[in-house]
Amino acid sequence: MPKLTTQQRQNILIDYGLVYINWGKEGQRRLAPTRGGATITITPTYRDIDYDGSKGKEKGMQILESVAATATVPLMDMSMENLALLMPYATLTGDGIGTPYKLTVKSSNIGLVQDSAYLDNITIFGKKLGGNYVKVTLHSAMNEGAFTLTAAPKAEGVVNMEIHAHWDAEDDTKDLVEIEDVETISDDSTPPTATTVPDDGATSVVVSSNLTATFSEAIRQSDIHAGNFILVKVSDGSVVSGDLSYEPATKTVTFEPTSNLEAGTAYLWLISNVRDLAGNKMTPKTVNFTTAA
């Protein structure tokens, strides 16, 4: 019987019950209590290009027409705030303090769904045997399932939220869904920043110098690769080869060019797509510098 590797064992998902709305945004809160975790379904729609003589499905003859993403969450908390999530078309009034909450469905609710009905995101964490987490985020999320509540004696009420992710018709660069590994669960929403040597605009940089980027917090070592740290010679756009290393104690990435840089030459160091341990991605950093003549 084949043995499992340590990595395979650590990747086993052992818990899937942490659900948040608006993770990393204003109004973030955990959606709890829930029962039975959550079910995430990502459904692609393919269209086969048929032609006379086709034997069936063929590589290169399919079109991906659409992708839909949903999350079903069995919710036990019947607070008015949660009921408003279940019925995003309804009108919620009151503050729950001086004025009791009231949720009503009006004829005026019929029509175009307003932007305010959509959550920024719903995010679900699943814990792995190795201690890390799988993080699944559905963007522009809204419940589209029917509201059905059955009250039974000696049994807790559960309502299934059927939350759909939505594409943004005004910004086609926004993601529908993200699935990523994270090392910790925290409410950290601040992206990392980097201080570089040389600094942007530096001149007379020694041609034998290494380049360093020291980050404001610990970063994912899987993000330290040639695609995220690119040194370019400005005059012809050629990419300078070199080796990357990381020192966790100082949170410093070092780029060592394979050979000395050219004298009296302008270079551009591009750093991007680096994330902290919570998954926050840095703002791309551009460092212009010129070597000594």
- Two structure tokens written together for 83: 């009921």
Q: Which residues in the chain show pLDDT less than 70?
A: 187
The pLDDT value given to residue 167: 96
Rounded to whole angstroms, the Cα distance separating 86 from 142 reads 8
Whether the CB-CB separation of 105 and 146 falls below 8 Å is answered with no
Q: Which pLDDT value is given to residue 98?
A: 84
Query: Structure tokens of 105?
Result: 């469905």
Tokens linked to 208: 């034998």
Give the separation between CA 183 and CA 126, rounded to whole angstroms: 11
The dihedral through the CA atoms of 272, 167, 31, 181 has a sign that is: negative
Q: Which domains does the chain have, with CATH numbers?
A: 6-182 (no CATH), 194-291 (2.60.40.1220)
Residue 172: predicted pLDDT: 87
Report the alpha-carbon distance of residue 271 to residue 283 in Å, rounded: 9
- What does the alpha-carbon distance between residue 58 and residue 56 come to, in Å, rounded to a whole number? 6
- pLDDT for 164-202, tens place per residue? 999 998 988 899 999 988 877 876 778 999 999 999 999
Q: Is 158 helix (H, G, I), strand (E, B) or coil?
A: coil
pLDDT at 234 (0 to 100) = 97
Residue pair 223/205 in contact by the 8 Å Cβ criterion: no
Give all strands of the β-sheet with 202-205 in edge-to-edge order: 202-205, 285-291, 266-271, 229-233
Q: How far apart are CA 30 and CA 185, in angstroms?
A: 12
pTM, two decimals, is 0.69
